[in-house]
Amino acid sequence: MFRPEEIFDELLRRAGKDGADEVLLGNTVQEKKVIHKKLCRRGFSLLFLEVPLSGRAGFDLHIVQDAENIKKQIPYERDLYDGYGELLSWYAGESSCGDGLDVVYDLRESLAAPPMVYLKMSDDTPNFSGFFCKAGDAESASRYERKVKQLPDGWVPWYTGVHTGRPGKPLRIGCALHSRAKMRYTKDMNLLDRDLRNLGFPAPLSSVACGRLAELFSFPYPVDVQLDVMEDGSLGSMLGISLCTGNIGVREMTDSLNEGSMREVMELLKRWNIADDRWKKLAASLFQVSAVLRSGDGDRRRFVLSGNIGFIKARFKDGEAEHDAKAYIMLRAF
């Protein structure tokens, strides 16, 4: 029988081919040992490797479980995923609570850092208060409800999460922008600045930041806005803007990185000094293959394995133009 750790190792090996392991993923020996413990005996729906596009190479890990997969795996040990076993057990018993959970490990920050957990929402009405209670921060439920009521027209929350191990226990909300909202801001980025200030963002967007955001919004990708809501209801100083690319096939994404719009995005981030040349190794991390794998106990099974870019995120701090950028490499095995 295949263990989740074996599938992870195979996906990571393929994502690190042609030198991408060293340039993008960094030295993964210690990280793999930690990750094996997190995955032990538990499957996953997909993984994200959150890779910085400048600075020290490495990755943070997202272990994503869809609702169906969570229900298949009950019962859960209480301490699974560093204390989120109770959350997973609760989620498995909910008849309608979104599209699944995402447990996030900041491996680059500290191999021992407590993880964050996200709830992925769908068109139904999830039990938010139950989620936040089981995730260890019951008070975030009211913060979430108050902030969502303030969202501008065309902002659709699609995930939320808590990080109880960070100062202030920030509540995170990710919002997909409707095409009409994206178009409105592309024409006048000052409108985004106004809407962010009305939501409680602590600083106005600088003219340079507005110009750069307008450039990002001009690309033909859906846009996600990531906000941190602090305990007093104000927004944190970091604004995350993601271009969502997960619906593009591997071959099309490879072509786009080589000579299309994704190459233009990367060159833009490099001009802003928040990416270096490592992005050129992203194409090496993309794959879609059918392969027969052999497990440690001799089992043989055919899998479809894939690696693709799910998101490209640029972060702006205190309303200024420069901070950092990340790529999210999405890994799956069927």
pLDDT, tens digit, for every residue of 293-306?
A: 888 787 898 999 99
C-alpha R_g of the chain: 20
- Return the structure tokens found at 51: 């890779």
pLDDT at residue 196 in the model:
97
pLDDT, tens digit, for every residue of 46-98?
A: 999 999 999 999 999 999 998 888 888 877 777 777 888 888 889 888 877 77
Higher pLDDT, 265 or 168: 265
The model carries a pTM of 0.95
In angstroms, rounded to a whole number, what is the distance separating the alpha carbons of residues 115 and 172? 13
Q: Write out the H or E segment, with its range, that includes residue 13.
A: helix 4-15
pLDDT at residue 40 in the model:
67
pLDDT at residue 246 in the model:
75
In angstroms, rounded to a whole number, what is the distance separating the alpha carbons of residues 53 and 174? 21
Q: How confident is the model at residue 124 (pLDDT cuts 50, 70, 90)?
A: low
Higher pLDDT, 32 or 224: 224
Can you tell me the mean pLDDT for 308-325?
95
Q: Phi/psi zone of residue 10: left (φ > 0), alpha (ψ -120 to 50 degrees), beta?
A: alpha
Q: By percentage, how much of the chain surpasses pLDDT 70?
A: 97
- Return the structure tokens found at 318: 């205190």
Q: Report which of 144, 169, 170, 139 is spatially closest to residue 157, judged by C-alpha positions.
A: 144
Q: DSSP per residue over 248-314, as a string?
A: S-HHHHHHHHHHSHHHHHHHHHHHTTS--GGGGGGGGG-EEEEEEEE-TTS-EEEEEEEEEEEEEEE
In angstroms, rounded to a whole number, what is the distance separating the alpha carbons of residues 191 and 187? 9
pLDDT, tens digit, for every residue of 149-167?
A: 999 999 999 999 988 777 7
Give the three-class secondary structure for 62: strand
pLDDT, tens digit, for every residue of 3-60?
A: 888 999 999 999 999 999 999 998 777 778 888 888 866 789 999 999 999 999 999 9
pLDDT at residue 111 in the model:
66
